[in-house]
């Protein structure tokens, strides 16, 4: 990000946000991803756990109840081992795939796709002990340490309460059968994991809120940063102001030189002004010498009056010519009749005959 300069009182611009994204800076919470992955893992175990248990039980029963290992060769032993590993892998595959999919979906939701190969480059600052000490004792790391201790404490309390609620049952498990002990261990594990996941999820929502707030605060911009970005995106404001001043001067000079040549100025009456000229010897149709709105229209009218150029109010015609015709271009055919009427009136005032306007 850009260097700080003064109070950051401006919201981040789209360019600054895009720049931060390109640098790998996002509002994301690792705790949120961890909590949801844990929830997904427990849910997956609940769904696929029975089939996994049956597979492991069948393999253990077969392996411990037969004497094949005492009489088989090393080649057969390797074959049995590979077969057992393959069956376990196939039983674990849905669980691993589901947890991986949950992890990818959560991180994609927070960040989206953002490939940053430069992050893989070696950075000496990462092993600089001075920079490392600064990062270690930074405010964000202190907050993260405190939040981590709080997380551990709350999870420990919730798991302890859940374990204490089953204490009597656990003490009496000495009289249970192997299957009952397995069900007790399974139910206790799932219950405690769900409790821990619930606590972690609530805390992760708080962590994400803090990370989002901190990210937005870091993105805020000072006056100096806004000026620097404006210079980079649009150029120096002083040069822009100077360029606009030059453009205004050029427009003013053009009005001063072209409007006196006009035959008539058509107005709206005050918002728009269009200066028209028609020379039948050189022009097939009247052309627009100048046009403008607001202050430019006022200047056109003033120059026209100073040079005895008639100013005629024709609202529909002025609006049409201002919208459809650029400076230096002839009027459109569908406006010939309206312009001819205006020119006829002007020529009558001057005691001149109106030349024909080509169709």
| Domain boundary assignment for the chain | 26-112+124-220, 259-350
Which pLDDT value is given to residue 1? 45
Q: Helix 178-219 vs helix 139-165: angle between axes, to the nearest 10 degrees? A: 160
Which pLDDT value is given to residue 359? 45
Which pLDDT value is given to residue 77? 67
Which pLDDT value is given to residue 274? 92
Residues of the chain whose pLDDT is less than 50?
A: 1-5, 359
Which pLDDT value is given to residue 266? 92
CATH of domain 259-350: 3.40.1690.10
């Amino acid at each position: 990000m850009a260097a700080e300069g003064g109070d950051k009182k401006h919201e981040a611009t789209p360019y600054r946000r895009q720049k931060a994204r390109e640098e790998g800076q996002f509002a994301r919470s690792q705790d949120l991803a961890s909590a949801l992955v844990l929830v997904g893992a427990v849910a997956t175990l609940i769904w696929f756990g029975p089939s996994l248990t049956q597979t492991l039980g069948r393999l253990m029963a077969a392996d411990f109840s037969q004497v094949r290992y005492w009489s088989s060769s090393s080649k057969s032993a390797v074959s049995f081992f590979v077969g057992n590993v393959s069956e376990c892998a196939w039983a674990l595959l849905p669980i691993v795939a589901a947890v991986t999919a949950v992890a990818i979906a959560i991180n994609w939701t927070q960040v989206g796709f953002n490939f940053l190969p430069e992050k893989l480059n070696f950075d000496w600052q990462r092993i600089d002990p001075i920079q490392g000490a600064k990062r270690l004792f930074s405010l964000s790391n202190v907050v993260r340490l405190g939040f981590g201790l709080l997380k551990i404490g709350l999870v420990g309390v919730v798991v302890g309460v859940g374990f204490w609620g089953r204490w009597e049952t656990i003490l009496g498990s000495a009289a249970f059968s192997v299957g009952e002990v397995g069900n007790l261990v399974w139910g206790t594990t799932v219950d405690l994991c769900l409790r821990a996941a619930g606590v972690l999820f609530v805390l992760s929502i708080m962590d994400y809120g803090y990370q989002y707030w901190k990210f937005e605060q870091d993105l805020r911009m000072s006056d100096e940063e806004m000026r620097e970005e404006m210079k980079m995106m649009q150029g120096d404001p002083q040069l822009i102001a100077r360029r606009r001043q030059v453009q205004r001067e050029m427009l003013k000079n053009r009005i001063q030189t072209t409007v006196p040549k006009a035959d008539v100025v058509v107005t709206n009456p005050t918002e728009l002004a269009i200066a028209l000229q028609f020379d039948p010897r050189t022009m097939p149709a009247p052309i627009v010498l100048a046009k403008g709105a607001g202050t430019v229209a006022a200047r056109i009218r003033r120059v026209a009056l100073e040079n005895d150029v008639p100013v005629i109010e024709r609202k529909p015609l002025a609006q049409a010519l201002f919208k459809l015709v650029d400076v230096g271009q002839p009027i459109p055919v569908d406006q010939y009749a309206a312009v001819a009427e205006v020119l006829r009136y002007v020529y009558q005032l001057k005691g001149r005959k109106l030349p024909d306007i080509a169709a």
